[in-house]
Amino acid sequence: MLNEEGLGISEGSIYPLLARLKSEKKVSTEWVEADIGHARKYYELTEHGRQTCTALLQAWRDYTGAFDRLSERKS
């Protein structure tokens, strides 16, 4: 899905990130047995992860808003 959005993130990058998020209690994991093939690990944001995501999203909006206001003054 990440590559479908044009982010170009490789497995070598995403799994260490997921491991770090799990150690920080921002995601939880669950192994699910598959009917065919091997078991799969599913990741889900925890409440702490959702709060962190909300705070980071607000910080990003504040930053881009400030940048937009600055660029409007220059025009």
All residues at 6 or more sequence positions from 8 whose CB lies less than 8 Å from its CB, including other chains: 2
CA pair distance 75, 73, nearest whole angstrom: 6
Q: What is the pLDDT of residues 24-66, one digit of tens each?
A: 999 999 999 988 889 999 999 999 999 999 999 999 999 999 9
Sketch out the chain's domains with CATH numbers.
Answer: 11-74 (1.10.10.10)
Contact 39, 33 (CB under 8 A): yes
First to last CA, the chain: 38
38 phi and psi, to 5 degrees? -90, 165
pTM above 0.85, yes or no: no
